[in-house]
Amino acid sequence: MESQLVVDRLTEAVEVLRQVESNLRTSSDEVWHKRRPDGRKVRVLIRASIISLGEIDTVKQEFSADVWLAAWYKEPLLKGKKHREEVDWDDQWHPRIVLFNAVSVDKHEKKHHLILEEGDDVPIVQQSNRIRATFKEQMELFDFPFDNQELTIQLMSDWPIGQVEFAKNMGIKDTIRTDTFTGSQEWELFGHLLCKPSITNQDQSTSHYRYPLYNITAHVQRKMGFYVWNIAFIMFLIMALSFTAFSVPPNEPADRLGVTLTLLLTSVAFKFVVTQSLPTISYLTLLDKYVLLCMIFQCLMAVQNALASIVSNAWLFDLVSMAVLAGIVFFTHLVFGVLMFVKIRSTNKQLRQADKEYLELCENIDRFYQRTKCTISGFTDEEVEAIVGPAKPAGIDNSKQMGIDETQTVRVRVSSKVTPPADLPGSVPDVQPSRNNKYHV
């Protein structure tokens, strides 16, 4: 009995302590993010692979994607660790990467790995993310339906640019699968994936800081066949049928106007069809302009029908009007044809340039891998130059377009090579990967 009484008293004491702990805790889901004790700016390498690109919604200006993302960064605080099971990842510093333009996230799986260099006990942390989400994209629809769109996934770090910077992992290629694209009936997906770092604008932040961004961009081109044959061609036929009003005698204006205005109302109905295929935008697309010009032509035809009943020589007036209106139709379609040709040619030139940029980078990465068998590179500018040469591609060193003070950037780079005081926790010199050593993802 006495032992049972002691057990009951201990149980009551444990329960009281739990209640006290619960009252002292400010929030059960509160997370504190620790700054680096050495104060260094961390370069985080990113590699992206779009596994599947889903529905592209022009009206909502959204697209869905299934993406695999990996981030690598050196972590001196884990010196001596060899296995990921030895690390409490909830208690470690991390780059706090978020999906900046995500509308909703359906799935997000995160894993951590430790990668060791031969002969060095300071590991590289690899954070792998498998994400299925819907992203917001501001679409440019001036050339609709002859438009192409940049579908961009934006990553952002919640650390300001003084603590974290993004860069591409120059040891492995970014990829996108075109065979799993579900919108192939409406869009053509290109096989290049352009990834470049940037930073937020001052108006994108609620604080005085600016934050690093990483843009992962795929290109799609709209297949125009549906809109050309089902809207533009039908509008052309309706407009051409307006000339049948000349078969009605000029002295019967009511019948003539009945034909013209009926066709005009049909055009108005088609205008609503075009509107349903687009978001609420304040500018006219190329298809909008064509439909409106067809309607303006029909209005001119209605004015001609009304005037034909009051002029003295109605037959001559009809003949001249028919010739002038036919000339307007021919000239308008000629201008539209030239304009479409120029737009399509300009678009194809831009996409070929993007393809060329992507393929050149892939060739450089392949040559580097064949020479070194290294799959993680880009922690220093020297490593980047070893792959792409002295002339860095756009987005690798973009301090000028980011608006960063170049002198400040130099100070950061120089200070990063200085060994911090030994009394700081986790303070060790930066360890640069050797070309003779191998990192394996």
- Tens of each residue's pLDDT in the chain, 441 residues: 667 676 677 777 767 666 655 554 444 455 566 788 778 899 999 999 999 999 999 999 999 999 999 999 999 888 888 888 888 888 889 899 999 999 999 999 999 999 987 777 778 999 999 999 999 999 999 999 999 999 999 999 999 999 999 999 999 999 999 999 999 999 999 999 999 999 998 776 667 789 999 999 999 999 999 999 999 999 999 999 999 999 999 889 899 999 999 999 999 988 888 888 888 899 999 999 999 999 999 999 999 999 998 888 999 999 999 999 999 999 999 999 998 899 889 889 999 999 999 999 999 999 999 998 899 999 999 999 988 877 544 344 433 333 333 333 332 333 333 333 333 333 333 333 333 334 433
Task: Give me 426's structure tokens.
Answer: 């986790």
Cα 416 from Cα 86, distance rounded (Å)? 28
Task: Give me 328's structure tokens.
Answer: 């307007």
List the Cα angle 339/341/345 in 5-degree steps.
Answer: 120
Closest CA to 108 of 90, 84, 134, 86: 134
Residue 320 C-alpha from the chain's centroid: 54
Cα 326 from Cα 332, distance rounded (Å)? 10
Helix pair angle (233-241, 286-308), 10° resolution: 10
**Torsion over CA of 85, 90, 92 and 93, rounded to 10 degrees?**
140
Burial of 426 (0-12, 13-18, 19+ CB in 10 A): middle
Cα 45 from Cα 69, distance rounded (Å)? 11
User: CB of 193 within 8 A of CB of 214?
Assistant: no
**Torsion over CA of 96, 132, 197 and 177, rounded to 10 degrees?**
150
C-alpha gyration radius of the chain: 32
Q: What single-letter DSSP state applies at residue 372?
A: H
Closest CA to 242 of 261, 228, 226: 261
Residue 94 to residues 39, 73, 97, 210: CA-CA distances in angstroms?
14, 9, 8, 18
In this predicted structure, what is the pLDDT of residue 209?
87
Cβ within 8 Å of residue 225, ≥6 positions away: none
Closest CA to 45 of 199, 166, 214: 166
- What residues are paired with 98 via a beta bridge? 156
Cα 313 from Cα 396, distance rounded (Å)? 74
In this predicted structure, what is the pLDDT of residue 389?
78
Q: How much is the pTM?
A: 0.78
* Domains in the chain, CATH or no CATH each: 42-223+374-415 (2.70.170.10), 226-343 (1.20.58.390)
Cβ within 8 Å of residue 110, ≥6 positions away: 127, 128, 129
The length of the chain in residues reads 441
In this predicted structure, what is the pLDDT of residue 34?
72
**65 torsion bin: left (phi>0), alpha (psi -120 to 50), beta (else):** beta
Collapsed DSSP state (helix, strand, coil) of residue 48: strand
**Share of the chain residues as helix, strand and coil, in percent rounded to the nearest 5:** 40, 25, 35
Cα 336 from Cα 249, distance rounded (Å)? 33
In this predicted structure, what is the pLDDT of residue 91?
85
**Amino acid symbol at 229:** W
User: CB of 71 within 8 A of CB of 202?
Assistant: no
